Amino acid sequence: MRPFTSTISIDEARRRLDATVRPIERRERVGLAEATGRVAAADVTSKVDVPPFPRSAMDGYAVVAAATANATPEAPVRLRLLDRIYTGQPSRVTIASGACAEIATGAPLPSGADAVVMVEQTTPGRDDEIQILAAAAPGQHISRRGADITSGDVVVRAGDVLTPSRVGAVAAIGCADVAVYAKPRVAILSTGNEVIEPGRPLAAGQIHDVNRFTLGAIVETHGGVPEPHPPAGDTVEALTTALDLCAGADLIIFSGGSSVGERDRIIDLVSARGELIFHGLAIKPGKPTAFATVKGTPFFGMPGNPTSCLSNAYILLVPFLRAIARLPPHTPRTTLVPLGRRIASSAGRHQFYTVRLRNGAALPAFKGSGDITSLSLADGYIEIPAESSVVEEGTLVEVTLF
């Protein structure tokens, strides 16, 4: 055994991670159907006006506003109906004083008209007449050409996350695809002679690979592309081969093998190939977490225990991954509730303690670092500072929700 010579605080670990972030530079073009959630890599500038023609904003009648100046329900103005205009069908008539055209919402305004009277302010007259019951002002219920977007406007800026509304704006100016930053490729594998693929029967002493799948789900949710690899055994040769197979990824994550046992060789391996940024955190769970750069590629050495691994993935990996993916920080929801049962904590270690929400209170859900249900059955976690050893029942606690 090689005990930890020192550990660092969670805040210091975050500072070191922030200093190592290198946002991704690769770019690609994607169709609009695949663009939602991606990060724009260049400004998108319109070459057209939107709308490209003046159009009606209401179902009603296109008129010359001055011709309706004295219209009231008691003394309606009678106009001759010249045309019926629908969307996608420009009219060939010209509207003059004394005439009108029925028009649908979104249909192009006919020549000569400068206002639209909504249908609720009209009644049918004799033959081809329409009675106007209210005066119209010039420009009323009309969307002018370029009212939404003018040629030369920037509709999306480099660095913007392409939300559904921004994708819609790009579609509105006629672009079928958009330049985006590539998603970081994240190599993921679990280590340990005892770890085997799910779907295979367990022999004595074996366990199924959990961390590769939970980490992959985290990566996919937060802007990366998981590149899973088979489990690697606890030998220098196996780990070296596994690390070589991960070359080319933008981020590498190994789980297991980062503790202090004589067979936990990952730290020696990555130290020989790069720079060890930290190894050992004053937190619970997840003390054996490591971070390094291997030939310039960021490397997370996550604990093998499923709860420790996933907990630190939420706390440390997610902010780092989102930063290199150029995504905004993740802001999970929180809720303030009383603690439903007394919790004892390890003094000197900042603890992330999982809880369930029941009847307006937070109840302990943590079983142990090796128990995945400590997280799967939890609704969130509370943080217990390193200087606290007990949180009493009834204390108001802030629960960060998963």
Arithmetic mean of pLDDT over the chain: 93
The set of residues, in sequence order, having a beta carbon less than 8 Å from that of 377 and lying 6+ positions away, is 356, 365
pLDDT at 176: 97
The confidence band for 358, taking pLDDT boundaries of 50, 70 and 90, is very high
CB-based contact 133:79 (threshold 8 Å): no
Q: Is the pTM of this model over 0.75?
A: yes
pLDDT at 365: 87
Q: Is the pLDDT of residue 224 over 90?
A: yes
Distance CA 158, CA 84 (A): 44
Which tokens in the block code for residue 399? 């629960």
The whole-number average pLDDT for the span 155-163 is 98
Show me where the domains of the chain are located: 10-25+183-324, 27-48+161-181, 55-143, 334-401
Question: What is the share, in percent, of the chain residues with pLDDT greater than 70?
Answer: 96
Q: Is the pLDDT of residue 156 over 90?
A: yes
Q: Is the pLDDT of residue 395 over 50?
A: yes
User: Class assignment of domain 55-143?
Assistant: mainly beta
pLDDT at 190: 93
Which tokens in the block code for residue 2? 């090689």
pLDDT at 266: 87
The whole-number average pLDDT for the span 35-47 is 98
pLDDT at 1: 45
Provide the edge-to-edge strand list for the sheet that holds 122-124: 115-118, 60-63, 99-103, 77-85, 129-132, 122-124
Q: Thinking of the domain 334-401, which architecture would CATH place it in?
A: Beta Barrel (2.40)
Residue 339 has, within 13 A of its CA and on its CB side, a CA count of 21
Instruction: Of 278, 276, 257, give the one whose Cα is nearest residue 8.
Output: 278
Q: Is the pLDDT of residue 392 over 60?
A: yes
What confidence tens digit (pLDDT) does each residue in 76-115 have? 999 999 999 999 999 999 999 999 999 999 999 999 999 9
pLDDT at 257: 72
Q: Is the pLDDT of residue 117 over 70?
A: yes
Q: Is the pLDDT of residue 31 over 70?
A: yes
pLDDT at 346: 75
CB-based contact 316:14 (threshold 8 Å): yes
**72 vs 367: which has the higher pLDDT:** 72
pLDDT at 184: 98
Winning range, highest mean pLDDT, from 50-59, 301-310, 348-357: 50-59
CATH superfamily for domain 10-25+183-324:
MoaB/Mog-like domain (3.40.980.10)
Count Cβ neighbours within 10 Å for each residue of 265-296 and write b for 16 or more, e otherwise. Answer: bbbebbeebbebbbbbbbbbbbbbbbbbbbee
The confidence band for 237, taking pLDDT boundaries of 50, 70 and 90, is very high
Distance CA 15, CA 11 (A): 6
pLDDT at 368: 67
Q: What is the DSSP string of 3-64?
A: --S--B-HHHHHHHHHHH------EEEEEGGGTTT-BBSS-EE-SS-BSSS-EESSSEEEE-
Domain 10-25+183-324 matches domain 334-401 at the CATH topology level:
no
The whole-number average pLDDT for the span 132-145 is 97
CB-based contact 54:139 (threshold 8 Å): no
